[in-house]
Amino acid sequence: MLTLQAQLLNRLEQRESEGILRKLKIGKASIDFCSNDYLGLTRDQTFQQQILKTALENPKSLMGSTGSRLISGNTETTMQVESFLAENHGNKSALLFPSGYKANLALFSCIAQRNDTILVDEYVHRSVHDGCLLSNATKWKFKHNDLDHLESLLKKMKGNTLIAIESLYSMDGDFAPLEDIAELAFRYQANLIVDEAHALGVFGKGLVYQNQLQNKVFATIATYGKAMGLNGAAVLGSRVLKEYLINFASPFIYSTAASDFQSLSIRASYKYMDEHPDLAIRLQKNIEYFRSHQVHSISQEKSPIQIVQFPSSTKLRQAVTALSAIDIETYSVFAPTVKPGLERLRICLHQFNSFAEIDRLCRIIKQHQYV
Quote the pLDDT of residue 19: 75
Quote the pLDDT of residue 371: 47
User: In a 3-state reduction of DSSP, which class is residue 329?
Assistant: strand
Mean pLDDT, consecutive 10-residue stretches, the chain (371 aa), reads: 94 88 84 97 98 96 96 97 99 98 98 96 96 96 98 95 98 96 98 99 98 98 98 98 98 97 98 98 98 92 95 87 94 79 91 98 88 47
Quote the pLDDT of residue 334: 80
Quote the pLDDT of residue 370: 59
Angle between helical axes of 355-368 and 313-325 (0-180°, round to 10): 150
CATH 3.90.1150.10 holds for 28-44+277-370: yes
Domain-by-domain residue ranges, the chain?
28-44+277-370, 68-275
68-275: CATH, from 3.40.50.1110, 3.40.640.10, 3.90.1150.10, 3.40.1710.10: 3.40.640.10
| The pairing of beta strand 233-237 with beta strand 93-97 | antiparallel
Q: How many CB atoms sit inside 10 A of residue 75's CB?
A: 17
Contact in structure between 328 and 33 (CB atoms under 8 Å) = yes
Region of residue 127 (left: phi > 0; alpha: psi -120 to 50; beta: else):
alpha
Contact in structure between 61 and 261 (CB atoms under 8 Å) = yes
Q: How far apart are CA 122 and CA 144, in angstroms?
A: 6
Quote the pLDDT of residue 135: 95
Query: What are the counts of helices (DSSP H) followed by strands (DSSP E) for the chain?
Result: 14, 12
Element containing residue 16 per DSSP (H, E): helix 4-17
Tell which residue, 170, 230, 209, has the closest CA to residue 85.
209
Quote the pLDDT of residue 232: 98
